[in-house]
Structure 1
Amino acid sequence: MLKMENWRVSAEVERDRFLGFTGEHLARRLEIRARVPGYACKLDLEFEDGQKNILGLTAEGGVLCTDIRREYVACHGRVLAQVRGLKGDEVIKSNV
């Protein structure tokens, strides 16, 4: 599982740095252990070909999570991901 402290995301285990699809549904649940009270969070994705996507993150007991489905992924290859927190007019971003 990924973790985020002070808006810095890190992987405790190297394999957590990679997205892939498991099972026949071609989806993966991404979970980030984080406490961000009062913030609505999004996951900003940028793909190798320049396409972008934004996924909503749901807070569930100290974990931000989203399901990443095949149709949300624009292309194969490296993906840059960043958590963005919104609280009123305030916007804060994690490391990439």
Structure 2
Amino acid sequence: MIYMTDWNICTPPGFSLGFEGDNEVTSLEISTDLPEGWDLKVDVEKDGQKNIIQLSRDGEVYSALLTAAMLADDGTYAMQVRGTLGDQVRHSNLFYATVFNSINAVDAFPPPLPSEFEQMEDRLTDINNNPPKPGTNGTWLIFNPDSGEYEESDIPLPEGGGGGYRIGHGLLLDRETNTLSVNAVSDFEGDNTLPITAAAVQDTVGNIEILLGTI
């Protein structure tokens, strides 16, 4: 704690506010002889950069819990108390405080992605990896990334008989068996039924949305 008498501040030798990057562990405390009503701030300057620290009063002591933003750089800080009472403004003498250097190794590494963006990215990845698929009740099944399961939606399937959807030239999606069948290709040789996967559909037709086309 430092003391201010008649707007004159005397600091002890080697007065320090802590270390660069300290956050909410050090308080700047000033004991005064001021009557009630004065609002005090501390104007701070270092290397031409200025800041203002708001002080709170408790009895005869004004104080502020210092944050990393207030202790952003190491070195010597010039400080001055500025008080206001109605239209009155008064300043103390200048005093000086040292902020010691910190290694701050975390500054050498890129900051992590904020958690909410990570969660959004995970949700988009889940949805992309689990495209809509036909349900058995005449509507599309939509993947819910929260539950990790497909859920029935209100989006109706395209009208048409036979339980299939033509999704490309000669390709038929059977909604009962979830298979792709080669149809109406006269020169096709080999097995004409392939298991359906998101990758297979996307590779074949370029975009899963083409499933919305009718037979």
Q: TM-score range by the shorter chain?
A: 0.7 to 0.9
Shift of 1:71: 1.3
Aligned pair 1:56/2:54, yes or no? Answer: yes
Any conservation in 2 of the 1:7–1:94 contact (CA below 8 Å)? yes
C-alpha separation in 1, matches of 2:48 and 2:2: 24
C-alpha separation in 2, matches of 1:84 and 1:6: 13
Aligned pair 1:43/2:42, yes or no? Answer: yes
Q: Tell me which of 73, 76, 82 is aligned to 1:75.
A: 73
Following TM superposition, where does structure 1 have runs of at least 4 consecutive aligned residues deviating by more than 4 angstroms? none
Which of the two has greater strand per residue?
1
C-alpha separation in 1, matches of 2:64 and 2:49: 19
Shift of 1:74: 4.0
Matched to 1:40, the amino acid is D
Q: Tell me which of 1, 8, 20 is aligned to 2:18.
A: 20
Shift of 1:73: 2.7
Any conservation in 2 of the 1:51–1:74 contact (CA below 8 Å)? no
The Cα RMSD (Å) is 1.7
C-alpha separation in 1, matches of 2:72 and 2:89: 25
Aligned pair 1:10/2:10, yes or no? Answer: yes
Among all aligned residue pairs of Structure 1 and Structure 2, give the percentage whose two residues are the same amino acid: 37
Larger relative contact order (C-alpha < 8 A, sep ≥ 6)?
Answer: 1
Matched to 1:56, the amino acid is Q
Matched to 1:52, the amino acid is K
Matched to 2:38, the amino acid is Y
Shift of 1:26: 5.7
C-alpha separation in 2, matches of 1:40 and 1:26: 22
Q: TM-score scaled to structure 2, two decimals?
A: 0.39
Any conservation in 1 of the 2:31–2:61 contact (CA below 8 Å)? yes
Shift of 1:91: 0.5
The SS at the match of 1:32 is strand
Q: TM-score scaled to structure 1, two decimals?
A: 0.84
Shift of 1:27: 3.4
Unaligned stretches of 5+ residues in structure 2: 95-215
Which of the two has greater helix per residue?
2
Task: Count residues with an aligned counterpart.
Answer: 91
Any conservation in 1 of the 2:24–2:65 contact (CA below 8 Å)? no
Any conservation in 2 of the 1:35–1:63 contact (CA below 8 Å)? no
Unaligned stretches of 5+ residues in structure 1: none
> For residue 27 of structure 2, what is the aligned residue in structure 1?
29
